Copies of this chain bind each other. A is one copy, B any other.
């Protein structure tokens, strides 16, 4: 939601989150604990966290950028937090006015706080495949950031194609590379469909053995600090492809589509979702 001009009310957020959990989403990112001036759409995440009904087996996660965010997470009973750092120096400077190394140094106190308070930390590495300021980001650079996260004790990491610059061959190579180097990490992938390669990149990631993928209902998303960034791959498109391929996701496709449709109504705009436009394969069969 952070790229949308309109603001959802707390109760609207709560309903969407509860429906996402009911639809079988394994991890629901309910918002971020960042400074409300930086992302005003997320200023009410504390209250959202307190109000949502928690479903067993569902992980509720927030994005944080520092220890203060973690404190807010703990106070709101959210026991899983995601720290984000850009793999690209320029992108990190543009986004947070600090280099990746400086950002990661700042995470040290987060790690201590998380251990002391039972909060599970995950890490997201943005612009992991390409950066609008630097072009292709080399795997070695990504490895450096992964190393820092591992040294902090973070065992769940996401490689994010923040600006839709990844291609399937690169995804396959990078994923094999990081899995080989860091076999004890649980990997997530995060793709945007900016250049039409979103689901192809998922396919490449699956072939490299990655089982967890971020997506957003109706294909919402983007990055306010990355020029040209467009929405994430749509949850309903991803679930649809997986189910068509016979891959179990745990998600209910019809519920996912219904949520996507309602998100689209709330935003009042047509996003990058294909299934919301075309319907499921099984829908179009007319006899």
Residues of A within 8 A of B (CB): 90, 130-136, 163-165, 167-170, 193-200, 202-204, 227-228, 230, 233-234, 237, 240-241, 244-247, 274-275, 278-282, 284-287
Contacts and interface: CB of A to CB of B under 8 A. Distances in A.
Contact of A278 (B230, B246, B286): B230
Contacts of A133: 285-287
B196 A285 contact: no
B278 A241 contact: no
A282 B135 contact: yes
14 contacts: A90-B287, A130-B281, A165-B281, A168-B241, A168-B245, A169-B246, A193-B196, A195-B240, A195-B280, A196-B233, A196-B274, A199-B200, A200-B241, A230-B278
Copies of this chain, complex-wide, total 2
Nearest to A201: B200
Contacts of A274: 193-196
B285 A237 contact: no
Nearest to A281: B165
Given A133-B286, A281-B130, A284-B132, A241 B197 contact: yes
Contacts of A282: 135
A195 B134 CA distance: 32
A86 to B, nearest CB: 15
A90 B285 CA distance: 11
A244 to B, nearest CB: 4
Q: Which 5 A-B pairs have the closest CB atoms?
A: A196-B274, A167-B244, A169-B245, A200-B200, A199-B200
Given A90-B287, A167-B241, A200-B203, A195 B278 contact: yes
A148 to B, nearest CB: 25
A100 B113 CA distance: 68
A244 B167 CA distance: 6
Contacts of A233: 196
A216 to B, nearest CB: 14
